[in-house]
Copies of this chain bind each other. A is one copy, B any other.
Amino acid sequence: MLNNSQYIEKLRSSGLRPTKQRIKICEVLFNTQKTFHFTINELVKRISKSTNDKISLATVYNTVHAFKNKGYLKEIPINSDQSYFDTNTSHHHHFYDETQKDLIDIDDADVEPVKINTRIPGKKIKSVEVLVKVEDDKS
């Protein structure tokens, strides 16, 4: 929940020029009470609802990737035909509702730390993500 000049500062300080497209996308992504998950298509819809100036699809892709690289977004691995992104960049895991194709955060307090008692020599761990797939309980 920042204002525009704060987004401008944030962008500048991470080496991204604060263009009006990027500022608008910041607003759509980060001017919310709650974090959320989205696909590029869903983001494009949100953007067009909140502005009259259209932002090209290529710019949305470019910006999402730039933000991901800067650590402002995370990409969630769900094997699907499209990428899912998350505005919640803190460490947490997910439910994936296969019936409704919906990603839901799992509060980190509700997951015991995942202990992996093996390593790969010469490799360092970048992330440990748990994906809990759920479906409608018809029993």
Interface string of A109-126 (1 = CB under 8 A from B): 011101111101011111
Q: How far is the CB of A131 from chain B (nearest CB, A)?
A: 5
Check if A27 is an interface residue, CB within 8 A of chain B: no
Size category, A interface: 35 or more
Tell whether, in the assembled complex, residue B128 and residue A130 are in contact, meaning their CB atoms are under 8 Å apart. Answer: yes
Check if A135 is an interface residue, CB within 8 A of chain B: yes
Q: How far is the CB of A71 from chain B (nearest CB, A)?
A: 15
Q: Is the interface of A mostly helix, strand, loop or mixed?
A: strand
Residues in B neighbouring A126, C-beta threshold 8 A: 98, 133-135
Known pairs A78-B77, A79-B78, A137-B122; A132 contacts B116 (CB<8 A)? yes
Tell whether, in the assembled complex, residue B124 and residue A129 are in contact, meaning their CB atoms are under 8 Å apart. Answer: no
Check if A50 is an interface residue, CB within 8 A of chain B: no
Considering the chains assembled together, what is the distance between the CA atoms of A106 and B118 in angstroms?
Answer: 8
Check if A136 is an interface residue, CB within 8 A of chain B: yes
Residues in B neighbouring A116, C-beta threshold 8 A: 93, 106, 110-111, 130, 132
Chain B, residue nearest A128 (CB): B132
- Listed in ascending order, the chain A residues whose CB lies under 8 Å from chain B are 75-79, 83-84, 93, 95, 97-99, 104, 106-107, 110-112, 114-118, 120, 122-137, 139
